[in-house]
Amino acid sequence: MINNELGNTGLNVSRIGFGGIPIQRLAQSEVNKIMKHLTEQGINFIDTARAYTVSESYIGEALKDGLREKFILATKTQARTYDAMKADIETSLKNLQTDYIDLYQLHLLKTREDYDLVMSENGAYRALKEAKAAGKIGHIGVTAHNAVFLESLLDEMPFETIQFPYNLVERQAEMLFERAKAKGIGVIVMKPLAGGALDNADLSIRFILENKNVDIAIPGMDSIEQVTQNAAIGAGNLPLSESECLQADQIALELGTQFCRRCGYCLPCAAGIDIPMQFLLEGYLTRYDLNDYATTRYVNQPVDASACIKCGLCEPRCPYHLPIREMLTRVTKAFAAVL
């Protein structure tokens, strides 16, 4: 496995890391085997989140007997206030059965108002700084889905790493990554297979690793076979051929006609729908096969896809000209079939 320095953190990470979303549907015994196999394949970075139901707990249980020191652990939370963040850090430590988390991230930062709240006196960042000073966490990062917004924060934000979607289809973060790398900010790529929309893992991950500004990609894995396959890609250094580059562009073109990149330009919705979230949850339902995870979050939204009034205001705003109304109807039908 080829390793990279994660920005200026001093962390030496395998360039393929383990994404902890899919293990929610496994048994603890299966997760134990996967964690052991990660060490055998040279993968030393694990990413999970408070929102991933049992993922933290599964990982903690699997690592408790001698494996913890073999990994760089990263988790994240959508907590925005001091008290909520302080509580979530303690919950993560307990779930992961450790006294130290290498990287704790603010999950899904979306707006300037969101950022200002986090950085306020009673915001989440103060709790993160205190936890770092106390030795409970090592480094502080952020995840987001809006490249323009995140890039606008680079000159002022205190975060040591960024985690952002990047793959054959979602390439909007390339300038963000270049600027982050120049500033010594670690670059972590999530959604390397576009939430399961891309089925050629070799092509997709090699495309990502060719970007010199990317430190690590974290595909979700739920089997020993996937670990072996992804580790082999990370251990190689085979550049894409001309024909593979053309294939990558063709895949992007084909998926681009019906694929949401979660840029958020379609918002605000007249009916109050978080439009990108509908397509993200649909992906968890139909591609990740996370039925319970997706449906629970879908029904707990203040407004879901079924509330679309077909006004069409969103569609001219979409830089990819997606038929959003038609796609929201598809989401509604998909969830109606399982609820």
Helix (H) or strand (E) holding 19: strand 18-19
**Whether residues 44 and 140 fall in one domain:** yes
**Whether residues 209 and 311 fall in one domain:** no
Q: Give the domain-ending residue among 190, 214, 240.
A: 240
Residue type, 20: G
- Give residue 255's region: left, alpha or beta (phi > 0; psi -120 to 50): alpha
CB of 287 within 8 A of CB of 248?
no
Alpha-carbon torsion (114, 261, 289, 23), positive or negative: negative
Catalytic residues: 52
Identify whether 282 is part of a domain: yes
**Whether residues 70 and 191 fall in one domain:** yes
Identify whether 310 is part of a domain: yes
Q: Which CATH number goes with the domain that contains 67?
A: 3.20.20.100
Contacts 24+ apart (CB under 8 A), 9-14: 9/103, 9/138, 9/139, 9/160, 9/161, 9/186, 11/72, 11/102, 11/103, 11/138, 11/139, 11/186, 13/44, 13/45, 13/72, 13/215, 13/216, 14/42, 14/43, 14/44, 14/45, 14/216, 14/234
Identify whether 247 is part of a domain: no
Identify whether 270 is part of a domain: no
**Whether residues 220 and 293 fall in one domain:** no
Per-residue pLDDT in tens (0 to 9) along the chain, 339 residues? 999 999 999 999 999 999 999 999 899 999 999 999 999 999 999 999 999 999 999 999 999 989 999 999 999 999 999 999 999 999 999 999 999 999 999 999 988 999 999 999 999 999 999 999 999 999 999 999 889 999 999 999 999 999 999 999 889 999 999 999 999 999 999 999 987 778 899 999 999 999 999 999 999 999 999 999 999 999 998 899 999 999 999 988 877 767 787 777 799 999 999 999 999 899 889 887 899 999 999 999 999 999 999 999 999 988 778 999 999 999 999 999 999
Total number of domains constituting the chain: 2
Identify whether 251 is part of a domain: no
**Whether residues 148 and 280 fall in one domain:** no
- For every residue of 263-289, DSSP letters joined together read --TTPSPTT---HHHHHHHHHHHHTS-
Bridge partner residues of 76 (DSSP): 105
**Whether residues 111 and 236 fall in one domain:** yes
Q: Which residues contact 294 (CB under 8 A, 6 or more apart)?
A: 281, 282, 284, 285, 288, 335
Q: Give the domain-ending residue among 219, 240, 261.
A: 240
Identify whether 177 is part of a domain: yes
- Among 132, 139, 179, 125, which residue's Cα sits nearest to residue 155? 179
Give the span between the Cα atoms of 263 and 280, in whole angstroms.
Answer: 12
DSSP state of 72: E
Three-class DSSP category at 163: strand
**Whether residues 236 and 319 fall in one domain:** no
**Whether residues 236 and 295 fall in one domain:** no
**Whether residues 8 and 134 fall in one domain:** yes
CB of 168 within 8 A of CB of 248?
yes
- How many helices (H) and strands (E) the chain has is answered by 13, 10
pTM of the model: 0.85
Domain that holds residue 302: 275-336
**Whether residues 201 and 308 fall in one domain:** no
Q: Which residue has the tokens 């890609």?
A: 233
Total residue length of the chain: 339
Identify whether 183 is part of a domain: yes
